[in-house]
Amino acid sequence: MTRPFELYDLRITVERIEGRSVCGLEVGDYFELTESNRLRIPPGKHFCVYALSAVLPLLAAKQRQLADNDWLESDSLVACPDPDERLIMRVERVARRTLNSEDLT
């Protein structure tokens, strides 16, 4: 039985660094979450695991269409937990795709 549903692919980009860059990320660095669960980092790049841990809990919700008045529908900035760095990331929806629930766990 096919059960299709739609999710957004996301791009998480370093928008600004208000402190000192401790982890080696630069403005414009990014990773993508595609096909529900695939984390993609451009070749030769990295993404700080602590910055990733700050944004990770929000990604499943941002992959879905939310109610217009839901705060997570309009908010898209996430801060890294390192107070010296003050790294700010932007979560953007870059594509919408149809998936089959039977293909996923």
Write out pLDDT tens, residues 2-56: 788 898 999 999 999 999 888 999 999 999 999 989 999 999 999 999 999 999 9
**pLDDT of res. 4:** 87
Q: Model confidence over 58-82: pLDDT tens digits?
A: 999 999 988 888 888 889 999 999 9
Q: How far is CA 54 from CA 34, 65, 82, in A?
A: 18, 21, 10
pLDDT value at 1 more than 80 = no
pTM above 0.85, yes or no: yes
Is there a domain that residue 26 lies in? no
Q: Name 3's Cβ contacts closer than 8 Å, sequence gap at least 6.
A: 100, 101, 102
Q: What does the longest C-alpha to C-alpha distance in the chain come to?
A: 52
**pLDDT of res. 73:** 85
> Count of domains in the chain?
1
Question: Domain limits at 58?
Answer: 47-94
Is there a domain that residue 53 lies in? yes
**pLDDT of res. 13:** 98
Is there a domain that residue 7 lies in? no
